[in-house]
């Protein structure tokens, strides 16, 4: 099934992900028309200047008109309202998808906002700490995973078209149940972000105590935490609220494991520490072997843009 079977793709929300989708479609699917829309007039103006779409609509209804595929690239807490605003311009045959990093709550919000429409949520597991329309780039999704989470009653032919769309942008695609997705991402993405925000916040609180030495002598590990903690605050606030059950479950597991490490350090149990560090080192090697990162210095990041 060819992704080019979508004649017009409408992108709602023209930040990092929406802008990257627009640029990627223009590069990889030159026969597909791209229409963009953002609720912020300034962002719409930037998007026109940057060429993120063939045309930028002034209203959500205008953006939806003629679309075969609509991709919502707004914070997960805004998905329902964004979908409702599109309703007046949508064709009954249009497929509605998204890029949100929590899927259960998004699927429910979209189904409630657009009853009877074809809703096939998706999550490209890609991004950088940068945000805004000028942060997008056409290769963001190349060799990254995209997880498609169709509802049980989704038309298999439409699911195949959405899968083909993301594959055409260079992504590797998996399909899975929305609740399973949310549990997996709570471990691999949401909890690490929560830890990063906490560590960087703690360091900030300690700045006065250490006479600014925390920032001055930042080592590689802390610098990586600051990169993660620089991510879009609106997006991540909504992620934690929308996926709260899975995040809280994984946070409890993490707290229990952290307590065990605390005990090992207090008791001077070097064997327990060595075993844990050996096990986690193997996980890092597995990530490199799967092509999700590489072993170059600074984790293969050649600059601060996240475009390495």
Residue-wise pLDDT for 60-85, tens only, equals: 999 999 999 999 999 988 999 999 99
How many other CB atoms sit within 10 Å of the CB of residue 172? 15
* pLDDT of the residue at 302: 44
Burial of 288 by CB count in 10 Å (0-12 exposed, 13-18 middle, 19+ buried)? middle
- Mean pLDDT for 170-175 is 94
Question: Which has the closest alpha carbon to 22: 109, 136, 116?
Answer: 136
Whole-prediction pTM:
0.77
Question: Which has the closest alpha carbon to 174: 291, 293, 184?
Answer: 184
For 231, list phi and psi in degrees, rounded to 5: -65, 160
* pLDDT of the residue at 308: 28
- DSSP structure class, residue 237: H
pLDDT at 17 over 90: yes
pLDDT at 259 over 80: yes
Band (pLDDT 50/70/90 cuts) for residue 307 is very low
Residue-wise pLDDT for 31-51, tens only, equals: 999 999 999 999 999 999 999
* pLDDT of the residue at 122: 96
Residue-wise pLDDT for 241-252, tens only, equals: 888 888 888 888
């Amino acid at each position: 099934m060819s992704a080019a079977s979508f004649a017009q793709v409408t992108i709602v929300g023209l930040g990092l992900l929406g802008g990257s989708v627009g640029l990627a479609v223009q590069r990889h699917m030159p026969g597909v028309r791209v229409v963009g829309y953002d609720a912020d007039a300034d962002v719409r103006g930037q998007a026109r200047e940057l060429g993120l779409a063939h045309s930028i609509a002034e209203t959500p209804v205008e953006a939806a008109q003629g679309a075969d595929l609509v991709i919502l690239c707004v914070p997960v807490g805004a998905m329902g309202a964004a979908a409702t605003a599109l309703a007046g311009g949508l064709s009954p045959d249009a497929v509605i998808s998204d890029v949100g990093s929590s899927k259960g709550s998004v699927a429910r919000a979209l189904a409630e906002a657009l009853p009877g429409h074809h809703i096939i949520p998706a999550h490209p597991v890609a991004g950088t700490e940068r945000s805004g329309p000028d942060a997008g780039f056409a290769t963001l999704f190349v060799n990254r995973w995209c997880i498609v989470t169709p509802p049980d009653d989704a038309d298999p032919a439409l699911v195949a078209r959405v899968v083909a769309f993301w594959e055409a942008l260079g992504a590797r695609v998996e399909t899975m149940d929305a609740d399973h997705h949310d549990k997996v991402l709570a471990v691999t993405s949401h909890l690490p972000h929560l830890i990063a925000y906490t560590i960087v916040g703690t360091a900030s609180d300690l700045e006065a105590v250490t006479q600014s030495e925390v920032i001055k002598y930042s080592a590689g590990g802390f610098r990586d935490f600051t990169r993660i903690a620089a991510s879009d605050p609106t997006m991540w606030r909504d992620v934690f609220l929308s996926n709260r059950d899975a995040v809280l479950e994984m946070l409890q597991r993490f707290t229990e494991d952290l307590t065990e490490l605390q005990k090992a350090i207090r008791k001077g149990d070097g064997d327990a520490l060595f075993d844990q560090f050996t096990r986690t080192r193997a996980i890092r090697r597995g990530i490199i072997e799967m092509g999700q990162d590489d072993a170059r210095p600074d984790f293969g990041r050649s600059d601060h843009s996240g475009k390495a």
